[in-house]
């Protein structure tokens, strides 16, 4: 009889698998492990005596993950066959696993308050990488020699077996703290801890601390009054989450997962509302520097603060940094609506990525990422991390510059649709796609190539009111009434010119503080009513008409409608329009598959409407790629 445990893991990244495998290798248990599609499988004899204690050890050592969706176990007469998949074990950029965290706060360890604590299964490996494949020599740690204790650990500690980036306080990286008067260094247990203590106390006193972290420079400070919309809520004390935010269990678990995403969460306490409004991008401490600071913030009596992602050289009362030229990745944002999890955009934890399929010797480029052939197969990562990039043909996303002379320019909308089809193994079947980023595209995939069947109309912010006047009878009067009632706003919009997208114009028209798509999303979230108002999206043909849309908003504004209901109605109307056109196209082309792509879908109001209107059509989206622009670098492999 066999005892089988299946962990439902919806990614082919190796970190959980590798961690369990290391534990198996270090114990003398007779247990087989396999990695199948969306599953990590453990198989042992039912009467294996060490099984119970081993599974307990796994439970204590395994971090939570956004890809881990429960587990099941069962007994079987027959030994199941493992259908192994190709595992992606490219360098990670994660938070810390439970063992490494414990070590960092254990005063007897060699890594007490050492922010670069990490192991084979956790930490920001990618930040240290100078070139693929990852090794000590291919990292910025190449000039640091591991001490005897670390060398021994590389043989003895199953989690750090041959770990290329091993270091500890004795052989690792010193920290430096500078203000206008003094400079201090941290290079032993006492001073590392002191440095974070001093930083936290300074923040408690209202000072700002600019810190170099493994996820980039961050300016930390205590919020006072309404904070900059760019500021991210940084939770030091886990209890603050439920006290100040209104979050569901999926959001709570995701925030604390080893991937540590950025999540937009609704505020609950009056205090949080006064700083952030109705919702705020939130982060639970995600790498060594931030985790140590968080611990000392709690000691200084702060349960949360904020930070802004910034560049080297940012002004602050204090600077904390270290002498290692790391390359942080762009952080990633996650969207959660009940059981829907969408990676919105960003690099960290998603890239580098091993790619299956694609065209040999085709290089594709988008959002600063390159998909190219290497000795390890096709990989997506930043160009500078490849030793060389062999290419017969180069595809570059529209709107991005490339130094390659004969580069083919590709449409992000079309490539994004292909990336969804490729992820769902539906290339070669017909499909309709909706791509919604700054603009809205309706696409048809005829089993060979993608056609933009309803491309967006040209939109120009110049002469906006002239376009609106021409819409239909009475539009003239609408513009005049608007000018009379909102003369300053009229003048501001009338002076817009150049590359201003529809959402920015909309945000300006609605007088939102954050003049962007984000600002409209945030305001829509604060709408507590049931239904919105119908906003005009088209005039004559089926195509979305930006000017009709703006005219409709102008007339609602004239009649005194408030920001939240207008913003909510915008997404509701988009949801209705998208569902309407997509359903028509599916019918006309007799296709079954509907893909959605583009980061505009990461919006609670729009997603709610799409789910309601397109429940039968069961649209598919990217799973392990962002729904944003980054996925087009993958999709362009199939153009």
Q: Would you tell me which residues interact with Zn ion (CB under 5 A)?
A: 97, 100, 119, 122, 147, 150, 168, 170-171
**Minimum distance between the CB of residue 114 and Zn ion, rounded to whole angstroms?**
9
Output the CA–CA distances (angstroms, integers) from residue 159 to 20, 100, 112, 428, 465, in the order listed. Answer: 9, 9, 18, 43, 64
- For Zn ion, the closer of residues 92 and 240 by Cβ is 92
Crossing angle for the helix pair 288-299 and 189-204, nearest 10 degrees?
60
- For Zn ion, the closer of residues 119 and 319 by Cβ is 119
**Minimum distance between the CB of residue 142 and Zn ion, rounded to whole angstroms?**
15
Q: What is the H or E stretch that residue 262 is in?
A: strand 262-267
Q: Are 553 and 520 in contact (CB under 8 A)?
A: no
Strand partners, 595: 433, 620
- For Zn ion, the closer of residues 89 and 170 by Cβ is 170
Widest CA span of the chain, in angstroms? 84
- For Zn ion, the closer of residues 170 and 317 by Cβ is 170
- For Zn ion, the closer of residues 323 and 462 by Cβ is 323
**Minimum distance between the CB of residue 124 and Zn ion, rounded to whole angstroms?**
11
Which two tokens mark 502? Answer: 């529809």
**Minimum distance between the CB of residue 195 and Zn ion, rounded to whole angstroms?**
19
Q: Are 395 and 638 in contact (CB under 8 A)?
A: no
**Minimum distance between the CB of residue 62 and Zn ion, rounded to whole angstroms?**
11
Instruction: Please provide residue 373's backbone torsions phi and psi, each rounded to the nearest 5 degrees.
Output: -80, 140
Q: Which residues contact 586 (CB under 8 A, 6 or more apart)?
A: 432, 592, 594, 617
CA distance 227 to 275: 5
Output the CA–CA distances (angstroms, integers) from residue 392 to 361, 362, 373, 406, 478, in the order listed. Answer: 5, 6, 11, 10, 56
- For Zn ion, the closer of residues 163 and 577 by Cβ is 163
**Minimum distance between the CB of residue 354 and Zn ion, rounded to whole angstroms?**
22
**Minimum distance between the CB of residue 289 and Zn ion, rounded to whole angstroms?**
16
- For Zn ion, the closer of residues 97 and 606 by Cβ is 97
Q: What is the H or E stretch that residue 26 is in?
A: helix 15-26
Give the start-end residues of each E strand in 64-140: 68-76
- For Zn ion, the closer of residues 171 and 310 by Cβ is 171
- Cα 441 to chain center, whole Å? 23
- For Zn ion, the closer of residues 150 and 443 by Cβ is 150
CA angle 105, 109, 113 (to 5 degrees): 40
CA distance 19 to 24: 9
**Minimum distance between the CB of residue 13 and Zn ion, rounded to whole angstroms?**
15
**Minimum distance between the CB of residue 170 and Zn ion, rounded to whole angstroms?**
5
- For Zn ion, the closer of residues 170 and 237 by Cβ is 170
**Minimum distance between the CB of residue 258 and Zn ion, rounded to whole angstroms?**
9
Pairing, β 68-76 against β 245-246? unpaired
């Amino acid at each position: 009889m066999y005892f089988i445990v299946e962990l439902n893991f919806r990614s082919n990244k190796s970190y959980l698998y590798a961690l369990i495998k290391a534990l198996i290798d270090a114990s003398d248990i007779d247990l087989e492990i396999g990695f199948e599609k969306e599953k990590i499988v453990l198989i042992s004899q039912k009467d294996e005596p060490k099984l119970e204690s081993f599974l307990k050890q796994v439970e204590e050592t395994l971090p939570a993950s956004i890809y881990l969706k429960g587990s099941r176990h069962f007994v079987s007469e027959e030994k199941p066959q493992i259908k192994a998949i190709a595992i992606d074990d490219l360098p990670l950029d994660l938070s810390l696993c439970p063992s490494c965290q414990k070590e960092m706060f254990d005063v007897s360890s060699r890594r007490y308050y050492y922010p670069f604590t990490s192991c084979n299964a956790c930490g920001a490996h990618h930040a240290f990488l100078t070139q693929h494949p990852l090794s000590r020599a291919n990292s910025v740690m190449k000039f640091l020699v591991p001490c005897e204790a670390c060398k021994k650990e590389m043989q003895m500690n199953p989690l750090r077996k041959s770990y290329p980036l091993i270091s500890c306080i004795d052989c690792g990286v010193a920290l430096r703290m500078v203000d206008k008067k003094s400079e201090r260094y941290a290079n032993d247990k006492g001073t590392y801890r002191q440095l974070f203590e001093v930083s936290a106390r300074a923040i408690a006193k209202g000072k700002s601390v600019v810190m170099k972290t493994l996820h980039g420079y961050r300016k930390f400070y205590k919020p006072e009054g309404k904070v900059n919309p760019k500021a991210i809520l940084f939770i030091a004390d886990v209890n603050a989450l439920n006290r100040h935010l209104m979050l569901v269990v999926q959001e709570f678990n995701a925030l604390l997962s080893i991937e540590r995403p950025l999540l937009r969460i609704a505020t609950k306490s009056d205090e949080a509302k006064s700083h952030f409004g109705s919702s705020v991008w939130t982060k639970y401490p995600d790498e060594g520097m931030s985790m140590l600071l968080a611990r000392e913030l709690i000691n200084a009596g702060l349960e949360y603060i904020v930070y802004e992602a910034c560049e080297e050289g940012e002004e602050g009362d204090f600077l904390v940094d270290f002498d290692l030229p790391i390359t942080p990745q762009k952080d990633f944002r996650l969207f959660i609506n009940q059981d829907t999890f969408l990676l919105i955009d960003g690099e960290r934890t998603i890239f580098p990525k091993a790619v299956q399929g694609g065209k040999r010797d085709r290089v594709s480029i988008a959002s600063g990422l390159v998909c190219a052939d290497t000795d390890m197969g096709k990989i997506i990562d930043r160009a500078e991390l490849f030793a060389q990039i062999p290419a017969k043909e180069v595809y570059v996303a529209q709107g991005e510059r490339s130094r390659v002379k004969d580069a083919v320019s590709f449409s992000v909308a079309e490539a994004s649709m292909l990336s969804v089809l490729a992820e769902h193994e539906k290339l070669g079947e017909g499909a309709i796609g909706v791509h919604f980023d700054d603009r809205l595209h309706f696409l048809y995939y005829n089993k060979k190539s993608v056609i933009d069947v309803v491309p967006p109309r040209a939109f120009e912010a110049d002469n906006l009111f002239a376009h609106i006047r021409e819409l239909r009878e009475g539009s003239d009067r609408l513009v005049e009434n608007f000018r009379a009632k909102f003369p300053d706003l009229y003048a501001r919009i009338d002076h817009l010119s150049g590359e201003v997208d529809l959402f920015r114009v909309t945000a300006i028209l609605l007088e939102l503080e954050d003049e962007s798509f984000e600002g409209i999303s945030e305001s829509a979230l604060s709408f507590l009513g049931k239904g919105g108002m119908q906003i005009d999206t088209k005039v004559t043909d089926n195509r979305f008409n930006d000017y009709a849309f703006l005219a409709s908003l102008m007339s609602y504004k004239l009649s005194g409608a408030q920001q939240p209901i207008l913003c909510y109605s915008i997404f509701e109307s988009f949801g209705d329009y998208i569902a309407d056109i997509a359903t028509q196209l599916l019918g006309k082309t007799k296709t079954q598959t509907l893909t959605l792509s583009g980061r505009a879908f990461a919006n609670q109001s729009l997603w709610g409407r799409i789910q309601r209107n397109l429940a039968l059509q069961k649209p598919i989206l990217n799973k392990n790629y962002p729904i944003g622009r980054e996925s087009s670098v993958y999709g362009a492999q199939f153009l």
